Structure 1
Amino acid sequence: MSQQYPVVGIDVAKSFCFYAILTPSGEQFMKSFKAFNDKDGLDFVLRQIKKVEHAFNRKPAIVLESTGHYSQRIVHFFCNRGFKVFLINPLISHSIKSSLIRKVKTDKVDAEELARLFFLRPLQEFAKQEDYCFSLKTLSRAAVLLSEQRVTMINQLTAAVEQVMPAYTRVFSNVASDTSLKLLIKYSSPHALQQAPKDEIVSLIRIFHIVV
């Protein structure tokens, strides 16, 4: 299949990408170029790729490394427009590229080498997902990550409070509860908490619960 398709290699960055386009025989089709990852930049990329389609009467294959959410945006942009996309594990691409003699290291060179991987070994085509599935998966990953970060922060807060106010956790077993956090914000030291009038503390707790 690699001998039948032109190929576009993409070196992905946060705000822009470098693109290298090769013919089905592995020759450079046009000079590598840079385009920003906004509407104008991607429209420009599509116009350049149209030249490839007209020249070879078929859409080129798209090859890029997996770089987290930066590459995911580019993958779905091309998948939604009917391109065959090949998303490569960086460990695989790096091991192959490191075996090649590289006199220079630039984004343009990386884009071209990614394109050449299409001719060097069989690649697995990216399986396009429905947009809602992709969004759900992205949000689920974010929720899990935030949950893990929250647990870590609560553990760190509890450890700090136990050092500064050892008796505090006898009253508030959950240091991160809303009431506990409200008190810690207002009385951030044992002395401040001990010197605060009891009525003031009770009033603060009562007001907070009413607001909640």
Structure 2
Amino acid sequence: MIYVGIDIAKETHVAATVDSDGVIVIEPFSFSNNHEGFKLLKSKLDSLDKSNLLIGLESTAHYAENVIFFLHGCGYELAVINPVQTAAMRKTGIRKTKTDKVDSLLICKTLMVNSFRRYTENDIKTLKLKSLCRFRQNLKKSKARLKIQLTSYVDVIFPKLQYFFKSDLHIKSCYELLKVYSSPDDIAALHLTKLSNILTKASRGRFGKQDAESLKSLAKSSVGVKNTYISIQITQTIAQIELIESQLNELETVIETAMDELDSVIMTVPGIGKLNGAMILGEIGDIKRFSDSSKLLAYAGLDPVINQSGKFNAKRTRMSKRGSKILRYALINAAWNVSLNNDTFKRYYDSKVAQGNSHYSALGHTAHKLVRVIFKLLNDNITFALV
């Protein structure tokens, strides 16, 4: 067997190759994180027997993703190594040396003496899901921030407007109005028929002429600041929100298509939709990484904090929240949906509430149960059968 170790960096990676006897086949060499660099890497690897070749990379951040996709696309066998293993291997050396070239050789040695996990087609798919779902979460956060900004702008220029729309500015009727007439003076000056038509069309008949009269009256009595610059900010913020909404719709379609192709058993759990399922699968990756469900629970940050000293042992503790935020969010959300769609989970949730737990505390317990079920389903590749 020939082992290839690649030390990943942001701009320049380093690779080295050794055989089963530890003899260096290809001396450590650098290659850039671009087309020419990848071409150089492939030319070096092409001189070796692909069927007898194993490439190892440390489990790092996103910097390794393009290398993984490239090498997998070329048909090479890949293995992911825990950085803790290479760190332990480094300590076995007499001299304390850490360079990119040394690290690439250390990865080769780690492959030779330690256990590792080969990258599969399923890993590639879940890695793509993870990237898509994290991008979706970032878009949702950006949208939430923009909505807060929009509310603050409207509070300055037309403070009573949100009460006309029943304390919710973020509906299509309000957006369509503010995109064209963002100040109370503009709205007050509008002909009643035109204002009524705007509201009726945007709300699909929910608002009519009587509502238009009320809005005109509200605009005339507004004490908001007259500032054209804020009006510009309002229209621009709405445009940004609508752009993100269209991006989210497009992104969610791609995620749902990817979930259809993956055809995971997690979709047999009643209450877990494609988006929630994608977040869970993307963050978990290969279920074989976890030896039991408690490890998966800890990775999600749903495990309880241990508070013990001497004879004291706390009976009630909070969840650690030290794992993947997205996985934790998806599991809590899924736990509620599953409890609404499955009698077994509903009874379990109700029993925790009956014991005096709050809604969110009961959901945490339900999420624990769901994690154990998901671990079993994915590990054994069986469909959900609880009733």
TM, length-normalised to structure 2: 0.41
Q: Is the 8 A contact 1:65 1:93 kept in 2?
A: no
Shift of 1:64: 0.5
Structure 2 residues not aligned, in runs of 5+: 203-241, 243-387
Distance in 2 (CA, whole Å) between partners of 1:78 and 1:149 is 34
Q: Is the 8 A contact 2:55 2:79 kept in 1?
A: yes
Q: Which residue of 1 aligns with 2:26?
A: 30
Q: Which residue of 2 aligns with 1:157?
A: 149
1:49 and 2:42 equivalent?
no
Q: CA RMSD in A?
A: 3.9
Residue-pair matches, total: 196
Distance in 1 (CA, whole Å) between partners of 2:151 and 2:90 is 46
Distance of aligned partners of 1:131 and 1:27 in 2 relative to their CA distance in 1, 3 Å threshold: closer
Distance in 2 (CA, whole Å) between partners of 1:37 and 1:52 is 22
Distance in 2 (CA, whole Å) between partners of 1:73 and 1:110 is 20
* Matched residue type, 1:43: K
Q: Is the 8 A contact 1:59 1:83 kept in 2?
A: no
Q: Which residue of 1 aligns with 2:3?
A: 7
Q: Which residue of 2 aligns with 1:62?
A: 55
1:183 and 2:184 equivalent?
no
Alignment of 1:58-207 (within 5 A): 58-90=51-83, 92-93=84-85, 95-97=87-89, 99-101=91-93, 103-129=96-122, 135=128, 138-154=131-147, 156-157=148-149, 160-161=152-153, 164=156, 167-172=160-165, 173-177=167-171, 179-180=174-175, 183=178, 193-196=183-186, 198-199=188-189, 206=198
Distance in 1 (CA, whole Å) between partners of 2:15 and 2:191 is 63
* Matched residue type, 1:157: Q
Q: Could you report, residue by residue, the CA deviation over 1:73-103 in whole angstroms, capped at 9, with x for unpaired residues?
A: 222322233322111244x346525634563
Distance of aligned partners of 1:180 and 1:62 in 2 relative to their CA distance in 1, 3 Å threshold: same
Distance of aligned partners of 1:19 and 1:184 in 2 relative to their CA distance in 1, 3 Å threshold: same
Distance of aligned partners of 1:96 and 1:171 in 2 relative to their CA distance in 1, 3 Å threshold: farther
Local SS of the residue matching 1:25: coil
Q: Is the 8 A contact 1:13 1:70 kept in 2?
A: yes
Distance in 1 (CA, whole Å) between partners of 2:19 and 2:3 is 7
Distance of aligned partners of 1:153 and 1:195 in 2 relative to their CA distance in 1, 3 Å threshold: closer
* Matched residue type, 1:19: A
Q: Could you report, residue by residue, the CA deviation over 1:49-68 in whole angstroms, capped at 9, with x for unpaired residues?
A: 23343xxx853211112334
Q: Is the 8 A contact 1:175 1:181 kept in 2?
A: no
Local SS of the residue matching 1:51: coil
Distance of aligned partners of 1:104 and 1:131 in 2 relative to their CA distance in 1, 3 Å threshold: closer
Q: Is the 8 A contact 1:63 1:115 kept in 2?
A: yes
Q: Is the 8 A contact 1:20 1:108 kept in 2?
A: yes
Distance in 1 (CA, whole Å) between partners of 2:109 and 2:164 is 65
Which structure has more relative contact order (CA 8 Å, sep 6+)? It is 1
* Matched residue type, 1:8: V
Q: Is the 8 A contact 1:21 1:32 kept in 2?
A: yes
Distance in 1 (CA, whole Å) between partners of 2:126 and 2:32 is 26
Q: As a proportion of its length, which structure holds more helix?
A: 2
Local SS of the residue matching 2:119: coil
| Percent identity for Structure 1 against Structure 2 | 21
Q: Which one of the candidate residues 16, 19, 40 is aligned to 2:15? A: 19
Distance in 1 (CA, whole Å) between partners of 2:80 and 2:146 is 35
